[in-house]
Amino acid sequence: MQTLSDQSQLASALVALRAGGKRIALVPTMGALHAGHLSLVQEAKRQADHVVATIFINPLQFGQGEDLERYPRREKEDSAALKQAGCDLLWIPTPEQIYPAGFSTTVSVKDLGKHWEGEARPGHFDGVATVVTKLLNTVRPDVALFGEKDFQQLAVIRRLAVDLNLGVEILGVPTVRDCDGLALSSRNAFLSQDERARAVALPKVLRETAEAIADGKPVDPALTAARRVLNDAGFAPIDYVALVDAETLEPLRTAAGRMRLIAAAKIGSTRLIDNLAVEVRQ
Ligand code: PAF
């Protein structure tokens, strides 16, 4: 695996990878990699001839008082894990390459970024959309892969790729979970032993609530009960537990069509998010 920072070296390396019409898959990350990221690389290998990964902790997507400073940085381990997973090229851009002096362009996806994470973390999706556009424009992959754990982020990225004619296929990859159900996240490293034990209430209540709604339980009482369970487990504040349309991410008060149950809440000082598909039984 080649590891590059310099953008002109990256450009030459990409020309070499593309030679003979080979397909390139891109896996953008902020590092602190876990099995969820490596499953993106595995799927990328199925989708394309060559896999390019990026590690860039994007300051633009962190709000004031968020965890930019304490976000885990493990470049050496990440690089070894990507090499082992079969990644061909790792690009680690410098902040100056992504945001050169005078940088003043923002990519903003209006409706899809409005609710949920958009409300809880103002400016977050502008930061994500801007950096992802830059990464896609630089690497010009045939396909780019993102985890379904950040379900709203995935929807925002799909939208921008269509709206800006980026000519890239955006592929969502299912969430990877620990054996007790907790979704893998770089932020799980911040949980104390006690918080980690209690955090399992999040995937559990999502599963139970998704099943209750699938079985015909009215949506509002099901969501209220889910919030109570999370409160009892020590989650506070709960930013949202909502049933949404899987395409538009608009809230649903009755079950219909393709749906997603989404939630975000803090346990201690760590904010966790998760989501599940809901399918109404016939
Ligand atoms: O999901 C992430 O790790 C980040 O939001 C992404 C897509 C790499 C953009 O910085």
Give the number of the atom of ligand 1 that is nearest the alpha carbon of residue 28: 8
In a domain, 179, yes or no: no
**How long a stretch of residues is the chain?**
282
**Are 191 and 160 members of one domain?**
no
pLDDT at 139: 98
Rounded CA-CA distance 109/159 in Å is 7
**Are 13 and 131 members of one domain?**
yes
Rounded CA-CA distance 89/109 in Å is 29
Instruction: Give me the tens of pLDDT residue by residue for the chain, a chain 282 residues long.
Output: 999 999 999 999 999 999 999 999 999 999 999 999 999 999 999 999 999 999 999 999 999 988 899 899 999 999 999 999 999 999 999 999 999 999 999 999 999 999 999 999 999 999 999 999 999 999 999 999 999 999 999 999 999 999 999 999 999 999 999 999 999 999 999 999 999 999 999 999 999 999 999 999 999 999 999 999 999 999 999 999 999 999 999 999 999 999 999 999 999 999 999 999 999 876
**Are 133 and 229 members of one domain?**
no
Best of 126, 131, 159 for a ligand 1 pocket test (most atoms within 8 Å of beta carbon): 131
- Among protein residues, the one with the nearest Cα to ligand 1's atom 5 is 128
Give the number of the atom of ligand 1 that is nearest the alpha carbon of residue 56: 10
CB 170 near ligand 1, within 6 Å: no
Q: Is 277 left (phi over 0), alpha (psi -120 to 50) or beta?
A: beta
In a domain, 178, yes or no: no
Angle between helices 7-18 and 124-139 in degrees, nearest 10: 60
In a domain, 281, yes or no: no
CB 30 near ligand 1, within 6 Å: yes
- Among protein residues, the one with the nearest Cα to ligand 1's atom 3 is 29
Please identify, among 144, 173, 202, the residue that sits at the C-terminal boundary of a domain.
173
CB 130 near ligand 1, within 6 Å: no
Rounded CA-CA distance 205/212 in Å is 10
pLDDT at 67: 82
**Closest by Cα among 105, 175, 174 to 137:** 105
In a domain, 282, yes or no: no
CB 150 near ligand 1, within 6 Å: yes
| Residue 218 CA, ligand 1 centroid: distance in Å | 35
pLDDT at 280: 84
Residue 3 CA: distances (Å) to CA of 58, 88, 109: 19, 9, 31
Count of domains forming the chain: 2
Please identify, among 173, 197, 232, the residue that sits at the C-terminal boundary of a domain.
173
Residue 15 CA: distances (Å) to CA of 90, 109, 126, 138, 141: 15, 31, 30, 12, 11
Q: Tens digits of per-residue pLDDT, 31-72?
A: 999 999 999 999 999 999 999 999 999 999 999 988 899 899
Range of the domain at 120: 2-173
Known catalytic residue at 124 = no
**Are 198 and 140 members of one domain?**
no
Give the number of the atom of ligand 1 that is nearest the alpha carbon of residue 57: 10
**Are 165 and 69 members of one domain?**
yes
pLDDT at 169: 98
| Sequence-distant (≥ 6) Cβ neighbours of residue 205 within 8 angstroms | 226, 229, 230, 241, 263
**Are 87 and 133 members of one domain?**
yes
Q: Are strands 259-267 and 24-29 parallel, antiparallel or unpaired?
A: unpaired
Torsion of CA 259, 265, 271, 277, to 10 degrees: -20
**Are 154 and 206 members of one domain?**
no
User: Is residue 265 a contact partner of residue 202, using CB atoms and an 8 Å limit?
Assistant: yes
| Residue 21 CA, ligand 1 centroid: distance in Å | 28
pLDDT at 65: 86
Q: Are strands 259-267 and 270-278 parallel, antiparallel or unpaired?
A: antiparallel
Write the CATH number for 245. 3.30.1300.10
pTM summary value: 0.96
Give the number of the atom of ligand 1 that is nearest the alpha carbon of residue 147: 1
pLDDT at 281: 75
Write the CATH number for 24. 3.40.50.620
| Residue 220 CA, ligand 1 centroid: distance in Å | 32
